[in-house]
Amino acid sequence: MPIAPTQTVDDLHSADNRAGVLAPGRAVDLPTPPVPARKRGKRMSRRKGQSPNVRVGKRADGSRYYFFQYWADVSGQEERKRETEVIGLVSQMTKCEAERRKLEFISKLAINSSSYRIPSSETFAHALTHYREVFAPKMLRPSTISVAETRIKTHLEADWKDVPIDHISIDSVNEWAWKKRQTGLSWVTIKDALRTMQRVLSAHSKDRKPPFFQAGLSIPERDKLQMKIHSRHHVSFSWAQAVRIAEHLRRMGSLGDARREQYAALILLAAASGLRSSELLALRWDDADLKAGTIRVDESSDQRNGGTIGPCKNAAAYRTVVLRDAEGIHAIRTLKRLMGDAVPDALVFHSQMGGTLLETTILNQGLHPALKSLGLPKGGLHGFRRGCNRRWELAGINPAVIRQQMGHTSQRMTTLYSGEIPLEQVVAAFSSKFGNEIVVLENMENDVAA
């Protein structure tokens, strides 16, 4: 039936009005329109398989060709990109052949496969936020976080923060590493920064795996050789050098009596025990069994966090070091003289107020001036740890025992600590092993010559 010109829109939407019950013009309650849904991101469960049609296009010269279009995901953005793929000229193939080639192309892209991975729209900055706010505070020591933050702010954040995570591959990492190398950055520093980058990315990924591995770094063979040579030349102090340094510290006028004795004892204990500097500075008197000649290690000083006493570096660091050789006995006797009336839970090496010492204070006040006066190479307390490791190896101590004494997690690390053995120690090793034979052979040669 035709609509009367006097009817309103409300009349048309009302069932009662259509039945003639209500008068024209009366207001009718309408349902509230739905709230627009939030825009959803990419998700494979909402994707349909792509099966584009093969179409025919025409070029300016009049030739016709087969082509099809498909949607491609783009890293760093939600919207997909429309891509066009030309199959070939119409004159060179049938449409069935064009369809077959289209299916082969789609199959190689794997965009219809259940294993297809949608590129992430997140960047390295997102991974950094998760690392700083969630992962690091829960999983890492403050000292580890501090070291990592230095690498992130100095080498990583400015270059990578806006890069989509899916664009971070071994190829892009190699390109970045080469640019850093051109600026004069060493490969050691580059590799340290990349280790931190791997941790940031693996902490953010669901499978806890980084998108690249350092085994794929394109390091020139010459640089690899130089790195290996350099690693053999780390500063290492022998026991004889440690004794000289301790004696010099005892005579330094710039230090007070208490500080001179503490520094001298610390140097001798470091050279005799191989303890890390953080372990030495967290040592308490009840950790040292001076009668049995042992040192218990169950705490560590976080030097990057004001010397705060906390847990050790790793599980292997919790150990008891036995000092039964001549060097160890010497260090134990020095500790006995230093002990005096100290309470059991007091720190062995402490500040004037009884708090923890900082390694930088020891280096600046005592060790570095002493090394300069004695003409020895400049190094830190770690040099005494390397020297202790080398001394035990040359003495023929079982490698497993050395690894446990040093608190290393692997035999490889213990081997790296030896470095290049100085020539005088090589000669001494030969003399101690073949001394009598060498003298006999020399006498025989002298008799023949006579």
Q: What is the CATH number of the domain that holds 393?
A: 1.10.443.10
Q: What is the pLDDT of residue 306?
A: 81
Q: What's the number of domains the chain is made of?
A: 3
Consecutive 10-residue runs of the chain (450 residues): their mean pLDDT? Answer: 48 47 53 59 58 90 92 68 89 92 84 63 89 92 88 94 88 94 92 95 87 90 86 88 96 90 95 95 94 94 86 92 94 91 88 88 94 94 94 92 93 82 79 64 61
In-domain check, residue 324: yes
Query: Residue 184 CA to chain centroid, in angstroms?
Result: 21
> Are 398 and 304 in a shared domain?
yes
Instruction: Give the HSE-up count for residue 354: Cα atoms under 13 Å, Cβ half-sphere.
Output: 5
> Are 328 and 392 in a shared domain?
yes
> Are 283 and 398 in a shared domain?
yes
In sign, the C-alpha dihedral spanning 367, 368, 373, 379 is positive
In-domain check, residue 28: no
Tokens 């062995």 belong to residue = 348
Stated pTM of the model:
0.64
Residue 320 neighbours by CB under 8 Å, 6+ apart: 294, 295, 296, 297
pLDDT digits (tens, 9 = 90+) for 153-197: 999 999 999 888 888 999 999 999 999 999 999 999 999 999 999
Domain, as residue range, for 398: 239-419
Residue 243's SS3 state is helix
Q: What is the pLDDT of residue 13?
A: 47
In-domain check, residue 438: no
Residue 447 neighbours by CB under 8 Å, 6+ apart: none
Residue 347's SS3 state is strand
For residue 284, the 8-state DSSP code is B
> Are 377 and 317 in a shared domain?
yes
Q: Which of 428, 277, 250, 241 shows the shortest CA–CA distance to 363? A: 277
> Are 243 and 339 in a shared domain?
yes
Residue 3 neighbours by CB under 8 Å, 6+ apart: 12
In-domain check, residue 31: no
